[in-house]
């Protein structure tokens, strides 16, 4: 196990660095799906971590120590995730880990980080990651269960009572579908049809035809990636009446670009980040979101997505915990993370506890609708 270093005051540390005695770095490990099917998630996560580690170091580091990012590309493979997390823990001896782009990658390594006793902040969506609570595991994205709750509340508000569900066979999809089935009754909703598609499917019209024939008033899509555009296009092609809802896995301009005109009218819960400029002036997340958008777009010349925002929050939650703990010692940082209060991030305002390793509720979501090929903030 890597020995925790003693804290050195910032001015002294960098004075020593100036005469050749550089402060020992704080090692942040990361494993992300930079390539593969979930690259649209992992790529902005990687870019965000690299951007802000560089910025933090340029401003003096953390507790007088530079951050060192050790990052591996899993290729969206849970097997690779296990290999790289073992390397991060045993060879790289990192102080904490940020990563797990997908639920499958995250769940595959939880036993490893728990045994090694390193703070781990996941960037994946499923509620099973932190429910039940696991001592060393935290996450920043809103859960699939929270997304279902936000969607169902909107359906109830719209007077919808009979719905359909469609999702894939992946870990996130299954968790979302399970939560959708469990929560429907409490919102006065009846599920008339629930359909699943297979990995790599490129046409979901058979499943959507069954849903249409069941006579539903709205449909919730539980999935992400290429399937989000395929389902949306097929939905429009079949002329299904009633609104199509997505979960927060579609909170990227890439979804709108991929689905084209078929995306018009799709409603979904997203982090405040993607509509930061539409938030009220007094919304505490507005300033944080706009600053991140400016820095990211200037650095990479591309639109932000909520996925890069998950990495932004994870990094700064970790930095905040280290600064409050006064050390990078894993156990003390873990305790500090659990005591996070009123931390304003781009995903929401985090308030963690021993019973809650996310610290966000459904209210952290903003309800959006696709209008004119872009996001429209509703409430």
Cα–Cα distance, 248 to 124 (Å, whole number):
11
Instruction: Look at the chain and count its residues.
Output: 379
Is residue 98 classed exposed, middle or buried when 0-12, 13-18 and 19+ CB atoms within 10 A define those classes? Answer: buried
**What residues form DSSP beta bridges with 222?**
167
- Taking only the tens of pLDDT, the chain with its 379 residues reads 333 333 333 333 343 343 334 689 999 999 999 999 999 999 999 999 999 999 999 999 999 999 999 999 999 999 999 999 999 999 999 999 999 999 999 999 999 999 999 999 999 998 899 999 999 999 999 999 999 999 999 999 999 999 999 999 988 999 999 999 999 999 999 999 999 999 889 999 999 999 999 999 999 999 999 999 999 999 999 999 999 999 999 998 999 999 999 999 999 999 999 999 999 999 999 999 999 999 999 999 999 999 999 999 999 999 999 999 999 999 999 999 999 999 999 999 999 999 999 999 989 999 999 999 999 999 9
Q: What is the distance, to the nearest Å, from the Cα of residue 62 to the centroid of all Cα atoms in its chain?
A: 24
Contacts of 59 (CB under 8 A, 6+ apart): none
Q: Are strands 243-246 and 190-196 parallel, antiparallel or unpaired?
A: unpaired
Task: State residue 12's pLDDT score.
Answer: 33
What do you get for the CA distance between the two ends of the chain, in Å?
Answer: 47
Yes or no: say if 152 and 192 are a contact pair by the CB < 8 Å rule: no
Cα–Cα distance, 287 to 268 (Å, whole number):
23
Q: What is the distance, to the nearest Å, from the Cα of residue 90 to the centroid of all Cα atoms in its chain?
A: 26
Yes or no: say if 140 and 317 are a contact pair by the CB < 8 Å rule: yes
Q: What pTM does this model have?
A: 0.87
3-state per-residue secondary structure call for the chain: CCCCCCCCCHHHHHHHHHCCCCCCCEEEEEEECCCCCCHHHHHHHHHHHHHHHHHHHHCCCECCECEEEEEEECCCCHHHHHHHHHHHHHCCCCCEEEECCCHHHHHHHHHHHHHHCCCEEECCCCHHHCCCCCCCEEECCCCHHHHHHHHHHHHHHCCCCEEEEEECCCHHHHHHHHHHHHHHHHHCCEEEEEEECCCCCCCCHHHHHHHHHCCCCEEEEECCCHHHHHHHHHHHHCCCCCEEEECHHHCCHHHHHHHHHHHCCCEEEECHHHHHHHCCCCCHHHHHHHHHHHHHHHHHCCCCCHHHHHHHHHHHHHHHHHHHHCCCCHHHHHHHHHCCCCEECCCCEECCECCECCCCCHHHCEEEEEECCEEEECC
Cα–Cα distance, 339 to 346 (Å, whole number):
19
Cα–Cα distance, 262 to 236 (Å, whole number):
6
Yes or no: say if 26 and 95 are a contact pair by the CB < 8 Å rule: yes
Yes or no: say if 249 and 223 are a contact pair by the CB < 8 Å rule: yes
Domains of the chain (ranges; CATH) run: 10-142+285-360 (3.40.50.2300), 145-270 (3.40.50.2300)
**Rounded to whole angstroms, what are the CA distances from 130 to 33, 108, 177, 213, 356?**
20, 14, 18, 37, 8
**Rounded to whole angstroms, what are the CA distances from 245 to 35, 227, 302, 344?**
27, 14, 26, 27
Task: State residue 31's pLDDT score.
Answer: 98
């Amino acid at each position: 196990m890597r020995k925790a270093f003693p804290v050195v005051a910032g001015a002294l540390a960098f004075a020593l660095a100036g005469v050749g005695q550089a402060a020992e770095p704080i090692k942040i490990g990361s494993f992300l799906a930079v390539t593969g099917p979930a690259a649209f998630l992992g790529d902005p996560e990687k870019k965000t971590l690299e951007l802000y580690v560089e910025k933090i170091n340029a401003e003096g580091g953390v507790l007088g120590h530079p951050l060192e990012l050790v990052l591996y590309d899993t290729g969206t493979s849970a097997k690779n995730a296990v290999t790289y997390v073992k390397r991060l823990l045993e060879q790289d001896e990192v102080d904490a880990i940020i990563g797990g782009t997908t639920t499958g990658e995250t769940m595959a390594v939880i036993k490893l980080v728990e045994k090694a006793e390193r703070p781990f902040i996941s960037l994946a969506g499923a509620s099973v990651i932190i429910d039940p609570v696991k001592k060393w595991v935290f996450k920043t994205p809103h859960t699939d269960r929270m997304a279902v709750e936000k969607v169902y509340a909107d359906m109830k508000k719209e007077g919808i009572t009979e719905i359909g569900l469609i999702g894939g066979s992946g870990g996130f999809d299954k968790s979302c579908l399970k939560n959708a089935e469990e929560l429907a009754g409490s919102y006065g909703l009846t599920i008339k049809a629930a359909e699943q598609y297979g990995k790599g499917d490129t046409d979901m019209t058979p499943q959507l035809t069954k849903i249409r024939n069941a006579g539903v008033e709205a449909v919730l899509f539980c999935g992400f990636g290429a399937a989000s555009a395929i389902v949306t296009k097929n939905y429009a092609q079949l002329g299904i009446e009633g609104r199509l809802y997505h979960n927060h896995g579609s909170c990227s301009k890439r979804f709108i670009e991929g689905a084209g005109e078929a995306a018009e009218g799709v409603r979904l819960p997203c982090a405040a980040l993607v509509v930061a400029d539409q938030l009220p002036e007094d919304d505490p997340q507005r300033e944080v979101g706009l600053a991140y958008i400016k820095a990211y777009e200037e650095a990479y010349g591309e639109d932000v997505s909520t996925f890069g925002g998950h990495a932004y929050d994870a990094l700064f939650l970790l930095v905040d915990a280290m600064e409050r703990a006064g050390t990078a010692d894993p156990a003390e940082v873990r305790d500090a993370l659990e005591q996070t209060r009123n931390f304003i991030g781009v995903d929401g305002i985090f308030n963690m506890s021993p019973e809650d390793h996310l610290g966000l509720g459904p209210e952290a979501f903003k309800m959006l609708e696709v209008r004119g090929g872009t996001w429209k903030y509703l409430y």
